[in-house]
């Protein structure tokens, strides 16, 4: 399954080049009309992965970090977690308990639901506002559609196995309907064992299970109107936090004897109504959604006699209304958003000696809320036959309220702020396209920033801070695209200044268990620069080559101290892929993935037991995969990744990557 990741971007770019996008502008446009850097992953690639996030590895401008199996976090332009906005069909996945560090919640979207994944690199501040600091990752779900007026059916069953994690995956989808109404039902099961790394050892516990389902019902009463009702469910019943259970760098003993997400669960219900050429001649879209994320945990400090139980829940209610119009001179879009996010949190401790249960202060103040309101507008003007200018503004209002707890007073924070961006696109020739963008935005503090209480990874203990303010960013980028029949090249160069960043700082205190006491404050300023490059070339009718190269450089100042390297900045990384496809039944892909050494570490990186204090070593691995299409809709694939069994760790990850991995899969479509 890992092998198919390598083909995710440029090898499918020709097929999706003219597809419409909804993320970049909140209206349907082609990729050639977007001035921002944009990476696409086709749904066929994503549906072969264990996790949705796995499909993002190796793409232009994207770095994937994994704290533990079953989770994955996207890093865009050196930023991660709550500094990257995650969307599902235009609805926020980011919630009140999103942390600024890598988060696991995007991995809780069913792979079988994916039509494509879009990664917008930059600051689309007027369209998406708070949290869209480094960029936006949006999962666009597959909507069942049929052209015939007669009822028709189609389906797919997919099964896969890999040796590195003993992963067994089974998924199935069936669609039924006609041109006016259609439905889709899908389900998936995943069971993995302990991961085998390049050292030859299986580290554990690292195995996990996942089960998911999705049901969609879509209608098209006429050519102008459409509606959709969509339900997602995914649960990981018991996922181990491996970096807490194994000794890290500089440790003789692990932080915890037990640490399990038990369970991690996401439920998502959405309704959408669209009316093209509706009232006032405007194309209208209305989305109404509810999302629940359960982040429950069972943990026990190393050799402790007390076990902790946590239940943490975020209920996010959202309403998004947008209207757009296209004319001969350009286009525009206006809209409004309203979100309510409610947090419930409980924590207790059970004595393993006498069974006594004690109620503890929860991870988050129980009953915390965030209310978000926003108005936005963006317009694009066709200045000439070759030049387009775009720009917009957004006004956001956010109220965060935290009830009193035994260790903190009640608090409320209100943020009203403006963000905006401008873009320039110039078609120098039919092949060359120049682009540039500038944006200023902010990220308002959420419940996690304001009121997290208790143990944190990296042997830390967090105390609350109700006096936080917003983070602010200014970002500039420029680049070019070159597109001809047999070649595509893309290069973006960017710089961003990220001020008043919320970061954890040491207070100087230590808990009785030996954890460093930290508190989140607006104490960091960062400068991040880099480039993102991708290229593809059709060497012949059957052989194609594509490549990706990403580089990020970051520097920060914390609490007025002297400059140091930025936290968790990815190293130089990329991939090279060669594909053979004669247009028949056989396709062969060979790849090389690599990353350079990262020895530019912040003080926090050095103290993080997941990162070698001497720096993360560079690495390179190779793999090959063959697929065969048989008659009757059967497809068979066999591949091997990390052929030379390299032992390595992706920078910032909580465990070593898989070693030599034999992968086999079979798909049946009808």
Residue 278: phi and psi, rounded to 5, are: -90, -140
The pLDDT assigned to 17 comes to: 40
The pLDDT assigned to 1 comes to: 43
The structure tokens listed for 18 are 């003219």
Going along the chain from its start, the domains and CATH numbers come out as 2-669 (2.40.170.20)
How far, in Å, CA of 405 to CA of 382, rounded? 55
> How are beta strands 181-191 and 209-219 bridged, if at all?
antiparallel
Q: Answer for the pair 342, 95: CB distance below 8 angstroms, yes or no.
A: no
Chunked into runs of 10 residues, the chain (670 residues) has average pLDDT values of 39 41 61 86 90 92 91 92 92 90 89 92 79 89 93 96 97 97 98 95 94 98 96 97 94 95 97 94 95 97 96 97 91 95 97 96 93 94 94 94 84 89 95 95 89 75 82 95 94 96 85 84 93 96 96 91 92 97 90 97 93 96 95 94 97 94 97
Buried b (16+ CB within 10 A) or exposed e, 313-351: bbbbebebebbbbeeeeebbbbbebebbbbbebbbeebe
Residue whose pair of structure tokens reads 């195995």 in the numeric block: 207
In angstroms, the Cα distances linking 125 to 40, 103, 129 are 20, 22, 5
CA angle 405, 410, 411 (to 5 degrees): 135
Selection from 320, 328, 492 nearest residue 423 by Cα: 492
The pLDDT assigned to 28 comes to: 67
Residue whose pair of structure tokens reads 């097929």 in the numeric block: 15
Buried b (16+ CB within 10 A) or exposed e, 169-202: bebbbbbbbeeebbebbbbbebebbbbbbbeeeb
SS3 565: strand
The pLDDT assigned to 24 comes to: 52
Q: Answer for the pair 283, 324: CB distance below 8 angstroms, yes or no.
A: yes
The pLDDT assigned to 29 comes to: 72
CB atoms within 10 A of CB 445: 26
> How are beta strands 471-484 and 543-558 bridged, if at all?
unpaired
What is the DSSP annotation of 273-319? Answer: EEETT-GGG-EEEEEEEEEEEEEEEEEEETT-SEEEEEEEEEEEEEE
Dihedral sign from CA coordinates of 50, 256, 314, 267: positive
The pLDDT assigned to 13 comes to: 38
End-to-end Cα distance, the chain: 22
């Amino acid at each position: 399954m890992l092998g198919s990741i390598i083909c995710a971007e440029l090898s499918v770019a020709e097929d999706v080049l003219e597809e419409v996008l909804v993320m970049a502008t909140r209206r349907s446009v082609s990729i050639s009309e977007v001035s921002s850097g944009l990476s696409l992953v086709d749904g066929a690639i994503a549906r072969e992965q264990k996790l949705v996030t796995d499909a993002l590895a190796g793409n232009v401008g994207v770095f994937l970090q994994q704290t533990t199996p079953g989770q994955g976090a996207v890093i865009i332009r050196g930023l991660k977690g709550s500094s990257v906005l995650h969307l599902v069909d235009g609805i926020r996945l980011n919630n009140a308990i999103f942390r600024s560090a890598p988060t696991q919640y995007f991995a809780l979207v069913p792979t079988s639901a994916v039509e494509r994944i879009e990664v917008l690199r930059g600051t689309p501040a007027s369209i998406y506002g708070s949290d869209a600091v480094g960029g936006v990752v949006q999962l666009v779900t597959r909507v069942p559609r049929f052209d015939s007026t007669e009822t028709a059916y189609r389906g797919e069953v997919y099964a896969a196995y890999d040796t590195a994690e003993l992963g067994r995956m089974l998924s199935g989808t069936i669609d039924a309907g006609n041109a006016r109404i259609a439905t889709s039902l899908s389900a998936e099961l995943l069971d993995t064992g302990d991961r085998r790394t390049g050292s030859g050892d299986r580290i554990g516990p690292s195995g996990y299970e996942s089960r998911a389902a999705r049901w969609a019902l879509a209608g098209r009463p006429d050519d102008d109107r459409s509606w959709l009702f969509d339900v997602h469910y995914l649960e990981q019943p018991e996922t181990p936090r491996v970096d807490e259970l194994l000794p890290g760098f500089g440790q003789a003993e692990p932080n915890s004897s037990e640490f399990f997400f038990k369970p991690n669960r996401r439920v998502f219900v959405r309704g959408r109504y669209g009316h093209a050429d509706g009232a006032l001649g405007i194309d209208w879209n209305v989305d109404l959604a509810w999302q629940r994320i359960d982040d429950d945990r069972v943990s026990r400090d190393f050799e402790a006699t007390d076990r902790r139980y946590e239940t943490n829940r975020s209920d996010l209610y959202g309403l998004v209304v947008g209207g757009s119009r296209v004319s001969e001179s350009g286009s525009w879009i206006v809209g409004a958003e309203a979100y309510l996010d409610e947090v419930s949190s409980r924590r207790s401790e059970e004595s393993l000696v006498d069974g006594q249960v004690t109620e503890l202060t929860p991870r988050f103040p129980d009953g915390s809320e965030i209310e978000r309101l926003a108005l936005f507008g963006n317009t694009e003007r066709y200045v000439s036959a070759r030049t387009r200018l775009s720009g917009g503004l957004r006004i956001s209002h956010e109220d965060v309220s935290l009830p009193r707890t035994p260790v903190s007073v009640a608090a409320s924070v209100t943020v009203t702020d403006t963000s905006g961006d401008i873009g320039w696109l110039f078609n120098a020739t039919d092949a060359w396209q120049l682009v540039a963008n500038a944006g200023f935005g902010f990220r308002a503090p959420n419940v996690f920033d304001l009121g997290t209480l208790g143990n944190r990874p990296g042997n830390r203990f967090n105390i609350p801070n109700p006096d936080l303010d917003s983070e602010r960013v200014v970002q500039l980028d420029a680049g070019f695209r070159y597109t001809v029949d047999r070649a595509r090249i893309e290069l973006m160069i960017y710089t961003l200044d990220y001020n008043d960043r919320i970061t954890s700082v040491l207070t100087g205190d230590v808990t009785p268990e030996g954890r460093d006491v930290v508190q989140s404050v607006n104490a960091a300023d960062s400068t991040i620069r880099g480039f993102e490059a991708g290229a593809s070339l059709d060497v012949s009718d059957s052989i194609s080559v594509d490549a990706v190269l990403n580089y990020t450089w970051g520097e920060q100042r914390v609490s007025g101290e002297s400059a140091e390297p930025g936290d968790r900045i990815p190293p130089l990384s990329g991939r090279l892929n060669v594909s053979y496809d004669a247009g028949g039944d056989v396709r062969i892909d060979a790849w090389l993935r690599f990353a350079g050494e990262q020895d530019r570490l912040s003080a926090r990186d050095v103290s993080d037991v997941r990162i070698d204090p001497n720096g993360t070593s560079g690495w390179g691995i190779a793999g090959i995969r063959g697929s065969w299409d048989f008659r009757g809709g059967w497809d068979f694939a066999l591949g091997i990744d990390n052929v030379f069994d390299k032992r390595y760790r992706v920078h910032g990850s909580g465990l070593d990557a898989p070693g030599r991995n034999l992968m086999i899969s079979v798909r049946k479509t009808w």
